Amino acid sequence: MKEYRLLAWPELPSEFQRTAHRRVLSDLSARFMTSAQLMECSGLKKGEIKIFLSMLDARGLLDERDGTAPDSFFDTIGKLGWFRRPGNPTHDGR
């Protein structure tokens, strides 16, 4: 699943000057998000999100990545189990 992030804040055409569209821009400026996440947080429909993302992409304002990519190096090593919290052993303690 694709995730998107805003590279620069655009001047919006009149058809995209709703609060929901600005909310999408705000969320995309802070982090990578999927279209499903954007629909949930903005209240826009799937088609509206798709059109909005297409407009942003056509202007070169979107960074896109595969949704399976980790957010950071620390996410990667955390999933590998390199960090353990005290008191949470991975073995049965014998």
What domains, with CATH codes, occur in the chain?
2-69 (1.10.10.10)
Q: Are 52 and 44 in contact (CB under 8 A)?
A: yes
User: Kind of pairing, strands 2-6 and 62-66?
Assistant: antiparallel
Tens digits of residue pLDDT in 81-91:
655 556 655 55
Q: What are the tokens at 9? A: 């804040």
Phi first, then psi, for residue 91 (nearest 5°) are -110, 175
> pLDDT, tens digit, for every residue of 43-67?
999 999 999 999 999 999 999 999 7
Q: What value, to the nearest 5°, has the Cα angle with vertex 54 and ends 59 and 68?
A: 105
For residue 91, what is the DSSP state? Answer: S
